[in-house]
Amino acid sequence: MFPSPPALGRLPLFLAALVVALLALLGVAFQGQWVRMNVPGASSPVVPAMVLEVARCLEREGVRDFRVAGSLREDAEAYQRLVEVAWPVEVSDGSPVLVVRSQELHALCRGARTLCRVREVTVAACVR
Amino acid sequence: MPLAFVSLFAVGVFGLGAWVYPARALDGRLPVGGLFVSGVLGLAACHSLVYAGAPTWTSVAVAIAGGGAGMATLAWRARASSGARLEAAPSSVLRAAGLAAVALLPGVRLLTEPLGDYDARSIWFFQGKIIFFEGGLLSNAWTKPELAFARTDYPKLIPLLAAQAGTLAGYWNDYWPKAGLLVLLALLMIGLHSLPFRTPVVWATAVLMLLLEDEAGGHLLSNGYADGYLAGFLLLATAQLGMFLIVPSRRSLWLGLASLALAAQLKNEGIVAASMLLVLFGAAALVRGQRRAVGVRLEWSMVIPFLPVFLWFVLRARLGIGNEMAGHATWATVRGRLGDPSFWDLFARHLLREAPLAVALLASLALAAFLPRDLRRGRAAGIGLALAGFTGYAALLAAAFLATPFPLEWHLQRSLARLSHSATALLWAALLLGWAGRRHEERVL
């Protein structure tokens, strides 16, 4: 009723053995990567340390949204990385929480209450 | 464990489409082509659910639950329709083994390298992250002006696959979501397996796919960009639809349309290129009158692969998502550049710098020597489809850079290399139809 198996000789067996051997080799070669892959929130080395630390600060402080201003906002790469990494803490231009380079804090934030300071960047709650 | 879930999901996607894929389209041949179409239909089915407002986890659950049963259905239908010819021929196994070897490198890189390249992080996988955390596509995030850099108007095939991979793992990081692209890699390789050309030619085409890089040397099948897959699926679509114009068969029509639907789900350029190829193909098929000549009927189910594209346009209109680049483009910029020789000089120099495109151009010139003989054999429509597609895509590229609101040199440097790969793929399809298919079309189709 059903067709007889194809006459492929030992080819499938050979291919299966090859795949198993390759997977074993890859498992050994990429052991470190496998560990990182299974860590929730593990980030790529291309993400600047400042961005990671700001994102952690926002999460720790229970912030729901934030805005970026000044020269940090003009730095497209830093801004985009910050927005990507911080999500689901959303970027919103109406937020009272400001992420800004420390030297620009008082010019851009009225009644600043510093939440955390990360390298050259300050996260602060402003009066709007 | 997440890898097991992702694998289960991939199998589910391929099985899900089997519910709607007609057995007679297999044409009594080994169901590798059927597997490709089934995968495309499965993706369309589970992604349409999310476009229609269902949560991401629902689409994953439907794929897994419906997929296993669908796989069984596909196998049963294939046995019933193709009888004793179902078994794999050794040449088919050899072809699959070669393609698996080619896929190994991007496959390993997808699983082990973190997200690094710019657009992958800021566009595709950031959108995936939004979908993952929002639990679906219905979100006000897509219209936030603060997220304009993420090109939120782009189709969501890659972001959805990333979000589904994240949902399966239960968390988000910079590693796992890339595993979602394994589904596209598998589809690309299965699609290549289904090409009606000699095995070494198919392997060469797969290696060409492997060589596609972006401007920074990132490998486009594994760095999270859409461009490598766009080139691949446009190539598959053009080769299959071109072959339909030469030797019509339901199989090549299904495979061509399914590939085109995938290209249209990847990015905006894919939608334009797919629309252009559909119009060209429809016109060529009507002129040749093949629908009546061979009894290949259009089937309603051929629309299903395109369903996510239509649903995305509906959702875009409903949420009010606009195109940021189009909003900034002005006629004054286009007019100014159109008559400016320095624009064309810069554009041509950047375009010809791309090695794969230059090779394909040279090969096409060589092909032109054979064209008179091909025209006599009625192959002109197939080759013409690919060449017209190439011309149209090149015009589309030129139009995009004529209108770009960004600094021209910067924009060319940043994106022309990867965007030109789709043009290379269309030329390659012309070469396949004109040269590689020459001796084998009668035997294979």
CA distances from residue B136 to B11, B60, B67, B129, B156 in whole angstroms, order as listed: 22, 12, 21, 10, 11
A84 closest CB neighbour out of B89, B126, B173: B126
Tell me which chain A residues have a C-beta less than 8 angstroms from the C-beta of B145.
93
Answer whether B87 sits within 8 Å of A36, measured CB to CB. Answer: no
Nearest neighbour of B176 by CB, restricted to A37, A84, A88: A37
> Given a cut of 80, is residue B172 above it in pLDDT?
yes
The domain limits of chain B are 2-83+94-444
Chain A within 8 Å of B90 (Cβ-Cβ)?
yes
Q: Work out the average pLDDT over B148-170.
A: 91
Query: Would the pLDDT of B105 be above 90?
Result: no
**Residue B270: its pLDDT value, please?**
93
Q: What is the C-alpha to C-alpha distance for residues A35 and B225, in angstroms, rounded to an integer?
A: 24
pLDDT digits (tens, 9 = 90+) for B396-410: 888 888 887 777 778
Judge whether A60 lies within some domain: yes
Q: Do B97 and A6 touch (CB under 8 A)?
A: no
pLDDT at A3 over 50: no
pLDDT tens, residue by residue, B186-240: 999 999 998 888 888 888 888 888 888 777 777 889 889 999 999 999 999 999 9
Q: Is the peptide bond before A88 cis (omega within 30 degrees of 0)?
A: yes
Domain membership flag for residue A38: no
Number of domains within chain A: 1
Question: Mean of the pLDDT values across residues A7-28?
Answer: 65
**pLDDT score recorded for residue B442:** 42
Q: What average pLDDT score do residues B258-276 get? A: 94
Phi-psi region of B144 (alpha: psi -120 to 50; beta: other; left: phi over 0): beta
How far is it, in rounded angstroms, from Cα B47 to Cα B355?
A: 36
Q: Is residue A68 part of a domain?
A: yes
Q: Is B115 on the interface with A (CB under 8 A)?
A: yes
B147 and chain A: CB distance < 8 Å anywhere? yes
Cα B107 to its chain centre, rounded Å, is: 17
What pTM did the predictor assign? 0.87
Average pLDDT estimate for A83-96: 90
Identify the CA nearest to B390 among candidates B417, B434, B361, B423.
Answer: B423
Check residue B228 and give its pLDDT.
92
Task: Calculate ∠ Cα B30-B32-B34, nearest 5°.
Answer: 95
Mean pLDDT for the stretch of residues B258-279: 94
Candidate from A103-117, B70-84, B404-418 with smallest mean pLDDT: B70-84
DSSP B47-94: HHHHHTT--HHHHHHHHHHHHHHHHHHHHHHHHHHHGGGGSPPHHHHH
CB-based contacts of B197, cutoff 8 Å, min separation 6? B205, B239, B432, B436, B437, B440, B444
Would you call B377 helix, strand, or coil by DSSP? coil
A42 within a domain of the structure (yes/no): no
From B111's Cα to the closest Cα of chain A, the distance in A is: 8
Residue B7 near chain A (CB below 8 Å): no
pLDDT at A23 over 60: yes
Q: What one-character-per-residue DSSP string does A54-113 give?
A: HHHHHHHTT-SEEEE-THHHH-HHHHHHHHHHHTTSEE-TT-SEEEEEGGGHHHH-TT-E
Residues in chain A with CB shorter than 8 Å from the CB of B90 are 6, 8, 11
Whether the predicted pLDDT of A2 surpasses 50? no
Amino acid A7: pLDDT: 45
Contact B87 A5 (CB under 8 A): yes
Q: What's the CA gap between B431 and B239, in Å, rounded?
A: 9
Mean pLDDT on B160-173: 91
Segment 96-115 of chain A within 8 Å of chain B by CB: none
Going by their DSSP bridges, the two strands A97-101 and A121-125 should be labelled as antiparallel
Nearest chain B residue to A3 by CA: give it.
B84
pLDDT at A69 over 80: yes
Give me the helix-helix angle, B2-16 and B182-193, nearest 10°.
Answer: 40
**Which range (A28-37, B91-100, B107-116, B128-137) has the least confidence?**
A28-37
Contacts of A119 (CB under 8 A, 6+ apart): A49, A50, A53
Q: Across all residues in chain B, what is the average pLDDT?
A: 81
Whether the predicted pLDDT of B130 surpasses 50: yes
Please tell me whether residue B185 adopts helix, strand or coil conformation. helix
Q: Which of A20, A67, A84, A98 to mutate to probe the B interface, most B CBs <10 Å?
A: A84
Residue A46: band (very low, low, confident or very high) from pLDDT cuts 50, 70, 90: confident
> Closest approach of chain B CAs to the CA of A83, in angstroms?
8
Q: How far is A96 from chain B (nearest CA, A)?
A: 15
Identify the three-state secondary structure at position A116.
strand
Does residue B243 contact residue B33 with C-beta atoms inside 8 Å?
Answer: no
Of B85, B89, B146, the CB nearest to A92: B146
Q: B339 vs B180, which has greater pLDDT? A: B180
C-beta of residue A37 within 8 angstroms of C-beta of residue B173: yes
Mean pLDDT for B420-441 is 78
B183: Cβ–Cβ under 8 A, 6 or more apart, which residues?
Answer: B9, B10, B13, B39, B43, B161
Q: Residue B31: its pLDDT value, please?
A: 63
Average pLDDT, stretch B362-381? 66
Looking at residue B62, what is its pLDDT? Answer: 84
Q: Does A74 touch chain B (CB under 8 A)?
A: no
Token pair recorded at residue B248: 């019509």
Q: Is residue A1 a part of any domain in this protein?
A: no
Q: What confidence tier does B67 reach under pLDDT thresholds 50, 70, 90?
A: confident
* Parallel/antiparallel/unpaired status of strands A97-101 and A65-68: parallel
* Mean pLDDT to the nearest integer, B153-174: 92
Check residues A43 and B26 and name the one with the higher pLDDT.
Answer: A43
Tell me the Cα Rg of chain A. 25
**pLDDT of amino acid B157:** 94
| pLDDT, average across residues A59-80 | 89
Task: Determine, for residues A44 and B149 on separate chains, whether the beta-carbon distance falls below 8 Å.
Answer: no
Residue A118 φ/ψ, nearest 5 degrees: -125, 110
**pLDDT of B12 higher than 60:** yes
**Contacts with B337 (C-beta within 8 Å, 6 or more apart), sequence order:** B343, B401, B402, B408
Residue B127 has a pLDDT of: 95
Assess contact for B115 and B121: CB atoms under 8 A: yes
Mean pLDDT of all residues in A44-62 = 88
**Residue B139: is its pLDDT beyond 50?**
yes
Q: Cα angle vertex B388, ends B43, B269, to 5°?
A: 40
Contacts of B170 in chain A (CB under 8 A): 40
Q: Which domain holds residue A64?
A: 49-125
SS3 A125: strand
The residue type found at B109 is: R
The pLDDT assigned to B82 comes to: 54
pLDDT of residue B255: 92
Residue (of A121, A21, A13) closest to A68 by Cα position:
A121
Task: Residue B421: name the closest of B253, B259, B221 by CA.
Answer: B221
CB within 8 Å: A42 and B141: no
Q: Is the pLDDT of residue B23 over 70?
A: no
Separation CA B233–CA B227 (nearest Å): 10
> Does residue B32 surpass a pLDDT of 70?
yes
What's the whole-number mean pLDDT along residues B287-311?
Answer: 75
The predicted-structure confidence for A95-121, as pLDDT tens digits, reads as follows: 899 999 988 888 888 787 888 888 888
pLDDT for residue B237: 96
Q: What is the pLDDT of residue A13?
A: 66
